[in-house]
């Protein structure tokens, strides 16, 4: 059975004279037990989709079912079975760590002890601060507490809205390790994130941009579908290199990418040596050019551009 099934879902918001299409006729299936990533920048529609799945908001058109239940008709039953972590910290700031957890357990007619096994590894990290008010916790701790509260009733599906936004690389890594171990315990997990480098940590991903899915597949599948030639270039003067590379007619889509620039040759007949020769003629020094495998971020940018044009 699919844990999530979304068919032709649309959602728009109107403020004054402006209407924003947050989700434009999108469809999606997430299998039970999957760790599924919804990847896209701010304003892509990630939160709208998760809020509809969490039964907090109704779509304008289309249907969504969660764990076999309809999000409009069966919302009460769904809420018993899912854990939802909104993007903004929404626990009670003036309750302690322990009180928050106890409160959420009580609402779901269970106790901290009943499902302690599920949260044990995460809770132990914040247990030294269990008497501290949630509002006084640091960002990373708040996030761990919020995850514990979303898990306390042993849901079969977790919906996480940007759990790693604004968090440093180290804490992000730890958070994804926690998700992997939760998945092993049988949970289906849907994570929304603006970080493209988190894509490879998911079983499957959906690339979302301005209310449309650009592509849905495994991370390696998405990369395999876009086997266009990609080059990486660097030199000892990156700003000038950016201008110089752009001024060469043989390449397009020249963008900085970490310590390199990435660019695509216009035609498959273009030899990478021609680019190197051109850059040498521009007095660039310590030039490195090489052909590379695209990353998810390259594919996303490529698809965004295509979408813009069409």
Partner 1 sequence: MYHELNDMIVADKLTKTFGDFTAVDAISFEVKKGEIFGFLGANGAGKSTAMRMLCGLLQPSSGSARVAGHDITRQSEKIKQTIGYMSQKFSLYEDLTVKENMRLYGGIYGMNLTAIKAKTASIASALHLQEELDTLVGSLPLGWKQKLAFSVAMFHSPPLVFLDEPTGGVDPVTRREFWELIYAAAHEGTTVFVTTHYMDEAEYCDRVCIMVDGKIQALDKPGALRQMYNTNSIEGVFLQLARTAKRMAD
Q: In what order do the strands lie in the sheet containing 61-66? A: 18-31, 2-15, 61-66, 69-70
DSSP secondary structure string, 165-218? TT--HHHHHHHHHHHHHHHHTT-EEEEEES-GGGGGGSSEEEEEETTEEEEEE-
> How big is the site for partner 1, counted in residues (CB under 8 A)?
36
Answer yes or no whether residue 135 interacts with partner 1 by CB under 8 A: no
What sign has the CA pseudo-torsion 141, 146, 188, 193?
Answer: negative
Provide the minimum distance between the beta carbon of 162 and partner 1 in the complex, in angstroms, as a whole number. Answer: 8
Q: Provide the mask over 63-92, with x wherever binding to partner 1 is found by CB under 8 A and - wherever it is not.
A: ------------------------------
Provide the minimum distance between the beta carbon of 69 and partner 1 in the complex, in angstroms, as a whole number. Answer: 31
Provide the minimum distance between the beta carbon of 153 and partner 1 in the complex, in angstroms, as a whole number. Answer: 27
Q: Compute and round to an integer the Cα radius of gyration of the chain.
A: 23
Interface segment toward partner 1; rule CB under 8 A; list 73-81, 165-173, 179-187, 267-275: 165-173
Other C-beta atoms closer than 10 Å to the C-beta of 274 total 15
**Overall size of the chain counted in residues:** 310
Between 128 and 221, name the residue whose CB sits nearer to partner 1.
128
- DSSP letter assigned to residue 132: S
Q: Which residue has the tokens 């993007």?
A: 87
Interface segment toward partner 1; rule CB under 8 A; list 63-71, 78-86, 275-283, 294-302: 294-302
Backbone angles phi, psi at 276, to 5 degrees: -60, -45
1, 14, 18, 273: which one contacts partner 1 (CB under 8 A)? 18
State how far the Cα of 246 lies from the Cα of 166, in Å rounded to an integer. Answer: 32
Residues 229-288 close enough to bind partner 1 by CB under 8 A: 238-239, 242, 255-259
109, 131, 170, 249: which one contacts partner 1 (CB under 8 A)? 170
For helices 139-151 and 116-126, angle between their N-to-C axes, nearest 10 degrees? 170
- DSSP letter assigned to residue 307: H
Provide the minimum distance between the beta carbon of 19 and partner 1 in the complex, in angstroms, as a whole number. Answer: 11
Answer yes or no whether residue 42 interacts with partner 1 by CB under 8 A: yes
Provide the minimum distance between the beta carbon of 198 and partner 1 in the complex, in angstroms, as a whole number. Answer: 12
Answer yes or no whether residue 168 interacts with partner 1 by CB under 8 A: yes
Between 274 and 297, name the residue whose CB sits nearer to partner 1.
297
What sign has the CA pseudo-torsion 241, 242, 248, 252?
Answer: positive
Residue pair 43/230 in contact (Cβ under 8 Å)? The answer is: no
Provide the minimum distance between the beta carbon of 292 and partner 1 in the complex, in angstroms, as a whole number. Answer: 13
Q: Tell me which residues touch partner 1 (CB under 8 A).
A: 18, 40-44, 128, 138-141, 165-171, 173, 194-196, 209, 238-239, 242, 255-259, 297, 300-301, 304-305
């Amino acid at each position: 059975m699919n844990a999530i099934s979304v068919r032709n879902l649309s959602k728009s918001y109107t403020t004054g004279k402006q209407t924003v299409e947050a989700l434009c006729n999108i469809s999606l299936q997430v299998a039970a037990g999957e760790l599924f990533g919804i990847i896209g920048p701010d304003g892509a529609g990630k939160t709208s989709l998760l809020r509809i799945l969490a039964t907090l908001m109704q779509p304008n058109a289309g249907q969504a079912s969660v764990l076999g239940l309809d999000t409009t008709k069966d919302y009460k039953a769904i809420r018993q079975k899912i854990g939802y972590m909104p993007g903004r910290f929404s626990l009670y700031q003036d309750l302690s760590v322990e009180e928050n957890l106890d409160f959420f357990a009580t609402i779901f007619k269970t106790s901290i002890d009943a499902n302690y096994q599920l949260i044990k590894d995460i809770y132990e990290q914040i247990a030294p601060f269990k008497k501290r008010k949630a509002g006084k916790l640091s960002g990373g701790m708040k996030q761990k507490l919020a995850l514990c509260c979303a898990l306390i009733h042993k849901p079969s599906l977790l919906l996480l809205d940007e759990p790693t936004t604004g968090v440093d690389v180290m804490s992000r890594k730890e958070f994804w390790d926690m998700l992997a171990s939760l998945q092993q315990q049988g949970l289906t997990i849907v994570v929304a994130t603006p970080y493209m480098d988190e894509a490879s940590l998911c079983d499957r991903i959906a690339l979302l941009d301005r209310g449309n899915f650009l592509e849905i597949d495994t991370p390696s599948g998405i990369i395999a579908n876009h086997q266009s030639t990609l080059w990486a270039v660097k030199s000892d003067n990156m700003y000038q290199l950016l201008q110089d590379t752009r001024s060469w007619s043989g390449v397009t889509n020249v963008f900085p990418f970490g310590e390199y620039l990435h660019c695509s040759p216009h035609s498959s007949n273009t030899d990478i040596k021609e680019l190197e020769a051109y850059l040498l003629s521009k007095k660039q020094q310590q030039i490195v050019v090489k052909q590379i495998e695209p990353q998810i971020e390259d594919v996303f940018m490529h698809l965004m551009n295509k979408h813009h044009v069409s």
